Structure 1
Amino acid sequence: MQFIDTHTHLFHSQFDGDRKEVMQRAIQSGVKRVLLPNIDVSTYDQMMAMVRDYPGVAFPMMGIHPTHVGEDREEQLQAVEVAFDQNPEAFVAVGEIGIDLYWEKDKLAWQQEAFARQIDVALKHDKPIVIHARDSFNEIFEIVEEKQNGELKGVLHCFTGNLEQAQRCLQLGLHLGIGGVATFKNGGLDAVLPHMPTDKLVLETDSPYLAPVPYRGKRNESSYVPIVAQRVAELTGLKLTEVAAITTENAEKLFNLPQQK
């Protein structure tokens, strides 16, 4: 079996002391590829250093996280646009982008502008978007619906919504990123995943955040993807091997990754 962690911040400083060991554990657990969502311009160099250290294993995205959309947003957005114009093949997605109204309620207009502009980058270069949504499903849906021209694709990462919101994601052409929340007692995904088409699911950790049970509250890492996959198997009635194969294929198609035997 092999898995793909479609959303992990392994370049985060929390891994500076043992990144090599974390990657070894991931690979040993069957997580053969990891996708790295950027946060802002300040994290770019760390992310790309990890990509160089793990060629064919670590794949970068480029984008500005909504909680990092601030006074310098024009400079940040131009950096994203220039990066894709200069070397679009270097990145598997535009991410992590979106709207966060939990931490940044007073910056909605800035976030909406940044989200819309980065979607335009994705459409221009035929890349998927990786969406961060916190307390902002309606605002996210409004912009995605406006931009959806039949070509926009992507994933709503760390999906924590209800069945209606999940169905809306599918209607808008989005995949669902399933992570540790699926294992939480009150995570709510037990009411969602049994009703979802498996060809719209990808697995993730969002490490170092949101570790699955039994590691909840501790640092998350990519080697925990099989725990999430097992929970998806339980909720969908599939075998673990089937979840591994299906979600790997889904990620390869969505992010245009080279297939691995």
Structure 2
Amino acid sequence: MIITDTHTHLYIEAFDEDRHEMIERALAQGVSRFFIPAIDSTYTKAMLQLEAAYPKQMFLMMGLHPTHVKDNYPEELRHVERMLSEHQFYAIGEIGIDLYWDKSTLDIQKLAFRHQIQLAKKNKLPIVIHCREAFDEIFEVLELENDEHLHGIFHCFTGTLEQAHKAISYNMKLGIGGVVTFKNGKINKFINKIDLKHIVLETDAPYLSPVPYRGKRNESAYIVEVLATLSELYGKSPEAIASITTQNSKAIFKV
């Protein structure tokens, strides 16, 4: 069984003490494809080192995370463009809008988001969207950029059934992670109404650990809990769901 974790921050400081062991635990569970989203330029070196250590398993993205869109965002976007010209990446991400931490940066978050969508189209890459308390704002930008080249993943989808259908209408897969295992996560109430062809698996490690690890550091091996929950909700074997979602990831990332 091949499992694909489409969103995991394996390079960040939370894993500095046991990164190799943590990755080995995931590999032992059948997780053999890890897609690695960017945050900002300060993490680029660590991402490249991770890829060098596991060249067959790690697939990097490049982008500027919305919570890191600050006054220096033009400089950060230039870094993104430079890296795209120098190295192979499989998506622009994670990008988007986050109004949970700071609403004052909304205007520049929108500018950075739209600029990076255009970069993705120019480079024929998918986008990976971060959305927190910003569905309307995200959809507003996607509507402006909607064309046959727009595609990607709505990472950590936590919206309503209606918002799920809207995201899919913009040629987005839904990234489903630990939240689907929460009793109060809401998406577990309707996710099986969404055809599996629109779903990919993710952990967002080290964040958003699934039950029974909720509140602890997440890691890619825990994706099997997401798989088990979806297996129950869809009435399909974990192997079938792993196969379908891995194929979906290949359709998005072209690898």
1:131 counterpart SS class: strand
2:146 aligns with 148
Deviates more, 1:169-178 or 1:76-85: 76-85
2:226 aligns with 228
1:252 aligns with 250
The within-5 A match list for 1:73-222 is 73-87=73-87, 90-222=88-220
2:217 counterpart SS class: coil
2:16 aligns with 16
2:78 counterpart SS class: helix
Q: One-letter code of the match for 1:62? A: M
2:49 aligns with 49
Q: One-letter code of the match for 2:5? A: D
1:114 counterpart SS class: helix
After superposition, the C-alpha distances for 1:147-180 in whole angstroms (9 at most, x for unaligned) are: 0111110111011111010010111111100000
Q: One-letter code of the match for 1:130? A: V
- Contact residue 96 and residue 131 of structure 1 kept, 8 A: yes
RMSD: 0.8
How far is 1:85 from its partner?
A: 2.9
Unaligned runs of 5+ in 1: none
How far is 1:2 from its partner?
A: 1.3
Given the alignment of the two structures, is residue 243 of structure 1 paired with residue 241 of structure 2, yes or no? yes
How far is 1:197 from its partner?
A: 1.2
Deviates more, 1:188-197 or 1:46-55: 188-197
1:65 aligns with 65
How far is 1:84 from its partner?
A: 1.6
CA distance in 2, matches of 1:199, 1:209: 25
CA distance in 2, matches of 1:192, 1:62: 32
How far is 1:253 from its partner?
A: 1.3
How far is 1:24 from its partner?
A: 0.4
Q: Which stretches of structure 1, 4 residues or more, deviate above 4 A after TM superposition?
A: none
Deviates more, 1:77-86 or 1:1-10: 77-86
Unaligned runs of 5+ in 2: none
TM-score for the superposition, normalised by structure 1: 0.96
After superposition, the C-alpha distances for 1:95-152 in whole angstroms (9 at most, x for unaligned) are: 0100000012110000000000000000001100000000000100111111011111
CA distance in 2, matches of 1:28, 1:72: 41
CA distance in 2, matches of 1:126, 1:119: 10
Q: One-letter code of the match for 1:81? A: E
- Contact residue 63 and residue 118 of structure 1 kept, 8 A: yes
CA distance in 1, matches of 2:244, 2:5: 13
